[in-house]
Chain A
Amino acid sequence: MAALTREESAALIAEVLEVYPEKAKKDRAKHLMVNDTTLESSKKCITSNRKSLPGVMTMRGCAYAGSKGVVWGPIKDIISISHGPIGCGQYARAGRRNYYVGTTGADAFCEMNFTSDFQERDIVFGGDKKLAKLIEEIEILFPLNKGISVQSECPIGLIGDDIEAVSKKAAAQIGKPVVPVRCEGFRGVSQSLGHHIANDSVRDWILSNRDGQAFETTPYDVAILGDYNIGGDAWASRILLEEMGLRVVAQWSGDGTLAEMENTPNVKLNLLHCYRSMNYISRHMEEKYGIPWMEYNFFGPTKIKESLRKIASFFDDKIKAGAEAVIEKYTPMMDEVIAKYKPRLEGKKVMLYVGGLRPRHVVGAYEDLGMEVVGTGYEFAHNDDYDRTIKEMGDATLIYDDVTGYEFEEFVKACKPDLIGSGIKEKYVFHKMGIPFRQLHSWDYSGPYHGCDGFAIFAKDMDLTLNNPCWNMMKAPWDKAAVAAEQKAA
């Protein structure tokens, strides 16, 4: 049962929109909807992937964040240069906790900040020479890098530097791939275009590097796409896939390497976790190499079982039996987790507002714990994401696209969820409102949440947050005493 009825939800949206000026109201109304599970397409109800309104508080990032922070950053043996002023790079160095195996500074570089540190004179005279020198220095200082990518920040596009020419020259000089990525922050309306640009640059500069070279394949080769190994997510997923008999050739891009990416065209199936950020390259591989791809979801036992069976359906009986064996092996463990935490979490309401896949992917995991998601929304999804979301969510629940700070607060006040899952920018606002909050972008410094091992951690974290005694202490003792006295008097 939904927290609000359809009419109440619609009234709430209308009420929240009331404060906006006429034009803004008209625009924002298109981004908010009450879910109707009978719909096939979200197109008529919700508009997405549009420019945020000036003057509202949006939680979106930029194209550079999508390319450097999400797609390129986690590749451990490629050095991603943040080409431009220093700040962008400083705030994008594995802040999502993309775990990897390797020695940072020797053969892995995710957590380091390589930047050309643009100053005024670089803007005036151009930064190409500096970039060439930077690549030279990197080669001397970090000889074990397998390649370099140049992630453009806004000024590069504005002053028109030719990073392609510099990269080409440098690549010939050092004999490694040097990939220019035109992911200036001003491109597009959100980080989503950055994902696309990053995918396209991987396609153009990396993917076909080993075409024609011998590679020992098995009939069970797969690649994990769109798993950024946040808190070890990809490892938790990989365990399940390997146990069912598949060989994971590549991880894109959490704990991934250049060699893995170059070998991906040899796999039999691409497994896509984050559809939003890696569907582009999957589509390309489907066309060029004939590799089918499928979306899967490793949050919560119900979805894991569904996904394992769906993955197995692409392979022969050996893998199908393997999938069943994996399910059988982990079911008791999952049941134990549910038995322990469901009584503590049952009936609680959750509101979500995350990036590109979690607003729909984690719904199943919450439902497994007996919780109900009463509202969900994406920062940068497109309409095909909402098409998928409609089916996952309950009827008459709220769906909001690129929600503004004000709208989100008002929705929370009206829906009174027991838990909110969103990003760091929202976290402390809701903490101050006295509502339990989990940061769902990088699992609030916990994780992994994928896979069977992840679900146990997920359940524990939700319990620790929700049933934390601190939420009863939101009122100062003297205020409490006053309330108690009043009640006594009455």
Chain B
Amino acid sequence: MANIMIRQNAAGGLVFYLPKRDLEAAIESIEFDTAEKWGGVLMLENGGSYYVDPIAKPARLPISVRARRLGAAED
């Protein structure tokens, strides 16, 4: 489990940021994206994937959440 931050970039897309490893990557897809359920599996552009427990859609980004690594791009 790692703390990650999800923020919005200028173009409106979601960006994944893992402070511990200074890993920044655009989020290609998010499993759940509705007002009451938001989160699930995040697919990153670098090939990695993380799982975030679904929560109600945050009113404001960025938000720090706990995430579990499913598959990383490197190693």
Contact = CB atoms under 8 A, between A and B. Distances in A.
A307 to B, nearest CB: 15
Interface string A267-306: 0000000000000100100110010000000000000000
A384 interface: yes
B17 A290 contact: no
A41 B46 contact: yes
B73 interface: yes
A196 interface: yes
Interface in B49-75: 60, 62-64, 73
A118 to B, nearest CB: 30
B28 interface: no
B45 to A, nearest CB: 7
Contact of B7 (A43, A283, A382, A384): A283
A49 interface: yes
Given A283-B7, A286-B7, A41 B17 contact: no
In this complex, the member of A280, A283, A290, A382 whose beta carbon has the largest number of chain B beta carbons within 10 angstroms is A283
B62 A287 contact: yes
Contacts of A283: 5, 7, 17, 19, 62
A156 B47 CA distance: 39
A114 B64 CA distance: 37
Contacts of B36: none
B24 A384 contact: yes
Size bracket of the A interface: 10 to 19
Interface in A188-205: 192, 196
Interface in A368-388: 382, 384
Contacts of A286: 7, 62
Contacts of B73: 43
Given A41-B45, A283-B5, A49 B22 contact: yes
Nearest to A40: B45
A43 B24 CA distance: 11
A49 B74 CA distance: 14
Nearest to A193: B22
Contacts of A280: 19
Given A283-B17, A287-B5, A382 B22 contact: yes
Nearest to A192: B22
Contacts of B46: 41, 43
Contacts of A287: 5, 7, 62-64
A43 B17 CA distance: 15
B51 to A, nearest CB: 21
A41 B44 CA distance: 13
B4 to A, nearest CB: 11
Contacts of B60: 290
Contacts of B17: 283
Contact of A196 (B5, B22, B24, B64): B22
Nearest to A43: B46
Contacts of A384: 22, 24
A382 B64 CA distance: 21
Interface in A33-65: 41, 43, 49
Contacts of A192: 22
Contacts of A382: 22
A313 to B, nearest CB: 10
A43 B5 CA distance: 20
A371 B22 CA distance: 33
Interface string A219-237: 0000000000000000000
Nearest to A387: B24
Contacts of B64: 287
A225 to B, nearest CB: 16
Nearest to B19: A280
7 contacts: A43-B73, A49-B22, A196-B22, A283-B17, A286-B7, A287-B62, A384-B24
Given A43-B73, A196-B22, A287-B5, 5 more contacts: A41-B45, A43-B46, A283-B5, A283-B7, A283-B17
Question: Closest 8 interchain pairs by CB?
Answer: A287-B62, A384-B24, A382-B22, A286-B62, A43-B46, A283-B5, A287-B64, A290-B60
